[in-house]
Amino acid sequence: MATHTTGDGGIPPRDAAERGLKRVMTLGGAYGMRNYTVKDLRDVKGKRLLTETLPFTPEEAAAAEEAGIDTMKVRFDPRQPTSLAAEIRKAAPHTFMSFSVPLTAAATEAEAVRIGYQAMDLGADGIMCQWSPRLIAAATEAGIPVEGHAGLVPRRSTWTGGLRAVGKTIEEALWVYEEIKKLEAAGAWAVEVEVIPAELLAAISKRTTLLTSSIGAGGGGDIQFLFAEDILGNNGPPYPRHSKQYRNLFKMKQEMQAERVAGFKEFVEEVRSGAFPTPQHVVKSPAGVIEAFLTKVDGKG
């Protein structure tokens, strides 16, 4: 029988209540404290706009949780020997988190369920995927909360003309709507909608029970999603049109790299000139020890 721990981070019940945290058990069997459950998120649909990000490091995840981000997505590949997703889960233990699973990792319903279970075993509250409704239906039937993907689905972009906006014609707009309704029928609870006209998402969001997570699709959805690397400005330009950089860590990283180079250069110069090491950086032998050492190794006396 599995041994369960509370996983509540030692938070007293009163403090947990004040922070709006709820005690949960994941599908993987782990206890924890979360800001939202799937039911909570569905209950606020159409009432309050939520925030979401995808952190790439445990440090980003911890910062996002402290800042009050509502939900997170985390990349998870069950084919990798180590799981960064598990470390990110530990870094943000109280935030509702969906593990984003690879499109090509599952080719059958059984594989979809197995990958979903692997994610839940690591503490995910659900999974996010670009799978077909058939695979999503298998995972949801197994009790796994699934978020689908519609609009511009990058890995499937050859079908919609490449990495471009989708839904600017009546035919495409209807197609996006129909794809979302298929995900709804498959049992998904949410859908990431990427790079479609803002007005289209606003109209669709009112006509589906799914929570709509908008990235590049305006503010008419239920969740506003932006990658942590965009929010923090981790990379230099060009930037995606739908993104906004709230910080410029890229500039800071460039400055840090310049400092690294400068530090190494000074080290090289001082070693070559004899300026390093100085007496303060070395250990002196007690009087007579070196003389005795030389006598021994040179065979004198």
* Active-site residue set: 194
| C-alpha–C-alpha distance, residues 138 and 238, integer Å | 40
DSSP 285: P
Classify residue 287 as left (phi > 0), alpha (psi -120 to 50) or beta: beta
Q: Which are the contacts of 210, defined by CB distance < 8 A and separation ≥ 6?
A: 148, 180, 183, 184, 188, 189, 190, 191
Question: Contact 89/115 with Cβ under 8 angstroms?
Answer: no
Question: Contact 150/180 with Cβ under 8 angstroms?
Answer: yes
Q: Which are the contacts of 3, defined by CB distance < 8 A and separation ≥ 6?
A: none
Tokens of 232: 């923090």
- List, in sequence order, every residue forming a beta bridge with 98; answer none if it has no partner: 73, 126
- Long-range pairs of 216-221 with CB within 8 A, sequence gap ≥ 24: 216/152, 216/165, 216/240, 216/241, 216/242, 217/151, 217/193, 217/242, 219/49, 221/49, 221/193
